[in-house]
Amino acid sequence: MASADAFGGGPVESDSGLAFTLRYAVPGLIGTAVLAIGALGVGWLPLDGLAHVPLIHTMRFTDIGAFVSRASVILGGAVLLQAWLVLGADVLAGHIRDLRRLWGVLALWTVPLILAPPLFSRDVYSYFAQGKLVLAGIDPYTNGVASVPGWFQDGVDPMWQLTPTPYGPVFLALERGVAALVGENPFLAVIAFRLLAVAGIALLAYYVPRLAFHGGIDASKAVWLGVLNPLVLMHFVLGAHNDALMVGLMVAGLTLAIERRPVLGIALVTMGAMVKLIGLLALPFVGLVWAGTRATTRQRVIAWGKSGVVALLTYAVFAALVGGSLGWVRALTTPGEVRTWLSPATALGMLTGNVASWLGLGDHLDLTVGVFRIIGELLAIGIVGYLLLKPQGRTPVQGLAWAFLAVVALGPVVQPWYLLWILPLVAASGLSPRQLQIVLLLTAAFTFYGLCETSATADSLLQLSDGLAMVAAAAAVGLALSASPRERALVFGEPTDHGLLPDDAPAAARREMLVVRASEPV
């Protein structure tokens, strides 16, 4: 056995597959299975069909079923978080390095969620309705899903009934294909879109280790943090968000560019951006890779120009094959219609507007929110510009991670799954012990937020109010974080021993090869 470390030691790689599975895979499998059971009662379902299945009807419309389903969501999320931390303690201590075993854990944790109703979001029903729009020959960039008969029965959130789609032509083609494949069955559409999200996760599972290798980071540590993360399972699998496909294509493209295949890498990044345009943020950072670590400003500008040409050609080829227009660019303001307190800019705007109203200065909420959002967006643009024009001392992957952080933190809307745009990048490019601790706490906080955002916190058999249910969720997450000394040390202890850093000199040398330096004098 390996010697004990700050976390209490762990198994070596020679442990049997059964012992590894029982210790690490089964607890998380139980967590996702319990989450799936809870989704039967509090997940989103179309108005027709599955709600009449006896088990689902019991879980949704009887007092005892409602209590069980709501408690299951809270319990399942906490168990999954704790299982992930248990695994992470031994991964970070170097006791687990076999990627195949981690891929097996990921597969086992994912399986119970494939057939579960959507949880944490019902955007997937909007994907289905948008696909039906395209099938009907209606422009989804100028029309909302209300143009399709039966959209409400399909489970679409009424908030989005009149809004055009903000998604690119790649995802629109996939939406159309799913709608043609499943006919009028919205739940089969959920499974199809979830499988597309799983394909994006598979891209991450394959390319994050390769990207981590170039960044000098141990592959198993990067996969544990960036792919096996509970938020990935909650929002990419259960929520079936198309962000999974966008991030998977982006990470694949970035990796291939670093591996000296920049044209193919840019094509994949562009494909990801044609799922969700925010993926295009990676393009100029791929250009930095193409220019080289010692490039002059002129060479970087040339590389950015070449990257733009490849991206335009990729778009043109795809548009010629499946059709497409630039109407999706006009529709990109759609997500901004949501106001959440998670966005600092929006929160400050709402707080300022409410204070002004309380002081009798009138209702200026729209104005204050708009002003703070503009300030946040300008700051984000400035930070991204600085990261691109002054890239010295960072790898392009680190620069892209900071750029995404700025765009998310200063953007008009923040959703929990937006964190997953950043997570694979920081997992593959490295974190100091303190930074890793912050990411772990953010994962726990967003897990708690996700549990509280579901209808798991609605009234139940025991008249459990929203507030008390949130207390129950907080208690469950708190218990997961402090269930044993190893998890407490990982999350709350002094971060002196572990981080995502190069383990040896060759790894540190690989990382240094990616760091952008001042150009060589002519």
- The pLDDT tens digits for 464-475 are 445 566 677 777
pLDDT at 451: 82
Reading phi first (left if > 0) and then psi (alpha if -120 to 50, else beta), residue 245 is in: alpha
Q: Give the model confidence (pLDDT) of 2-50 as tens digits.
A: 333 433 445 545 567 888 889 999 999 999 999 999 998 888 888 666 6
Mapping DSSP to helix (H, G, I), strand (E, B) and coil, where does residue 431 land? strand
Contacts of 360 (CB under 8 A, 6+ apart): none
pLDDT at 454: 66
pLDDT at 15: 63
Helices (H), 410-484: 419-429, 433-453, 466-481
Other Cβ atoms within 10 Å of 22 Cβ, number:
11
To the nearest 10°, report the CA torsion of 275, 276, 279, 280.
90
Q: Give the model confidence (pLDDT) of 202-236 as tens digits.
A: 999 999 999 999 999 999 999 999 999 999 999 99
Banded pLDDT at 145 (limits 50, 70, 90): confident
Q: Minimal CA–CA distance to 83: which of 29, 135, 149?
A: 29
Residue 231 structure tokens: 């938020």
pLDDT at 449: 84
Average pLDDT over residues 323-336: 58
Whole-prediction pTM: 0.90
Are 26 and 98 in contact by the 8 Å Cβ rule? The answer is: no
Displacement of CA 125 from its chain's centroid (Å): 18
DSSP 490-521: HHHS--SS--B---SHHHHHHHHHHS--PPPP
Mean pLDDT check: name the lowest of 50-54, 85-89, 381-385, 513-517. Answer: 50-54
Q: Give the model confidence (pLDDT) of 230-276 as tens digits.
A: 999 999 999 999 999 999 999 999 999 999 999 999 999 999 999 99
pLDDT at 211: 97
CA distance 462 to 456: 13
